[in-house]
Amino acid sequence: MKTSRLARETAKVGRNSEVFTNRKPRSFAASINAFAAGDSGSFTVKQDDDGDDSSSLSSLDSTGPFDIEDAPPFIKTAPQKRKHGISTPATTVTEASRFKLEIITPPRKAGINPEEKSPAKIKKGRKQPARKVVDHDSGKATIHPPANWEEIYGLVQEMRKKTLAPVDTMGCESLAEDHLSPRDKRFQTLIALMLSSQTKDTTTAIAMKRLQTELPPPHHFSLEGILAVPADTLNNLIYAVGFHNNKTRYIKATALLLQSNFNSDIPDTIEGLISLPGVGPKMAYLCMSAAWGRDEGIGVDVHVHRITNLWGWQKTNQPEETRAALEAWLPRDKWHEINHLLVGFGQTICLPVGRKCGECTLSTKGLCPGAVVQKKATVRRKRVKVEKKEEEEEVTEEVEEEVVVVKEEDG
């Protein structure tokens, strides 16, 4: 079969292209230097001697003036191997202008400021609980307070002044509307305390705001408004708080009892407040203090119970036991203040999980028996390397030492 003219021309071009594929490439750096120096006349293209003269590709004029478009493409060379023991600074190419590379070496990593003070050392204090002393002559028992309680109390007051806690702005005592009558303000304070059980202060404040703004007129958020609102609507308004279904029933039942048994006002005795559904001793004592201005007991919640036991003031299992132990020696003028003080302290520094003992003055002064102290323990580990050389076996032992920080917490 005859070969077409197109096939013959294609084969001829393929044979002539070997002149370029076999040619050794020019150095890119030499070409650029020649062009930058302006010596365009000396720039020539070298061709092999075995090229086909009849080829149209071999008849290129290589002696003419150099054009930047004729420069060979950038050829990546193999990276040089880095010699051992020589540190080469990392470089970053930031700009390429007229084939001149501007190279900037990044600054070294800033070191530790030598003037920076080391953190304060945490010291674990010794428990000094309240002591019961019996007079042998009269047989009368007297409770002596913890020896360092006034120092601890004063330092906690100083720490509380420096940090704002959620209870300072969203505590139950501050959630009632100011423009209401005294009776309605007392009622809102009672409802806020009922909502706060097993609920954070921020969530309680949100639920109270919804009640104050979304309960329908004409009564809005008052005893009459709670009596008139359907239970489903009330449940939706307090949906964010914990155990909202139970609290809805408690609030509706409490409203009925207040209307029938207490002249549409909240009780002014501890016994009367505890008789209401969902109201315990802690709520009753706090409500008496906030609503009626009478300090008849200490409102002990989880923060007061936990922190005072950490300090070693007493060893109790239940909040009511803690209340009785504290009331036996704590001055009466601090019965209302201690709840607000320790709740905020427990929300900011002495957290239930992850106590910030490094930020607590009591820990640095060695006054807190429950401080978390870091102890260093050295652990020795062996790493064995085996190197085989023909039939011999060489064993190399390397011993590493690691420092493990062990946190010791008071149980």
Instruction: Please identify every residue annotated as catalytic.
Output: 282
Q: What is the enclosing helix (H) or strand (E) of 270?
A: helix 270-274
Do you find a cis peptide bond into 218, omega within 30 degrees of 0?
yes
Measured CA to CA, the distance from residue 357 to residue 121 in angstroms comes to 10
94 exposure class (CB count in 10 Å sphere: 0-12, 13-18, 19+): exposed
Nearest to 327 by CA among 355, 307, 302, 298: 298
115 exposure class (CB count in 10 Å sphere: 0-12, 13-18, 19+): exposed
What is the largest distance, in Å, between two alpha-carbon atoms of the chain? 140
Coil, helix or strand for 387?
A: strand
Q: Are 176 and 211 in contact (CB under 8 A)?
A: no
Coil, helix or strand for 154?
A: helix
Q: Does residue 139 come out as left (phi exceeding 0), alpha (psi in the -120 to 50 range) or beta?
A: left
Measured CA to CA, the distance from residue 69 to residue 57 in angstroms comes to 18
Tokens of 350: 């002495």
